[in-house]
Amino acid sequence: LRRFSMAALATMRALPALIIGLSMATAMRVAVMPSAPAFQRSHRALPPSMDISQGTIGVGIIGAGRIGIVHLEALALCPTVKPVIISNPTVSKAKAAAEMYPGMAWTDTDIDVINHPDVDAVWICSPSQFHAAQITAC
């Protein structure tokens, strides 16, 4: 396990902000901002077990818009992947996507996807402005 100084960690957290063109001062302010609120953080009872030799990887998808459906269709073609659950704030979109694949669940919240016991990996296909909070929750 590598150990980093707090300044190095803050700089690493600032890199995405720097890449999109923010100044270093603004990027560092973003880097030291608190992460997602505690109620959004997920705490898994068991760690995911992504051992392809033992079976398939359960995937949860956040977002049932155009890009979410494209990724769902691609994932469904992978022999070592099983789409488990999909979420969308408009639950009818998530339900319609899930009904294309027998046994797949749907929900209206991203946290349900992140905390689903059969999900080993999460595909984030939501609008970009939600990515940071969803990545932090994962």
Residues 6+ apart with CB under 8 A from 47: none
Is 0.75 surpassed by the pTM of this model? no
Handedness of CA 128, 130, 135, 136 (dihedral sign): positive
Kindly report, residue by residue over 25-49, the tens digit of the pLDDT: 554 444 444 444 443 444 555 555 5
Please determine, for residue 122, whether its predicted confidence score (pLDDT) is greater than 80.
Answer: yes
Mean pLDDT value across residues 116-138: 95
pLDDT band at 137 (very low <50, low <70, confident <90, very high): very high
Q: Look up tokens 């932090």; give the residue.
A: 136
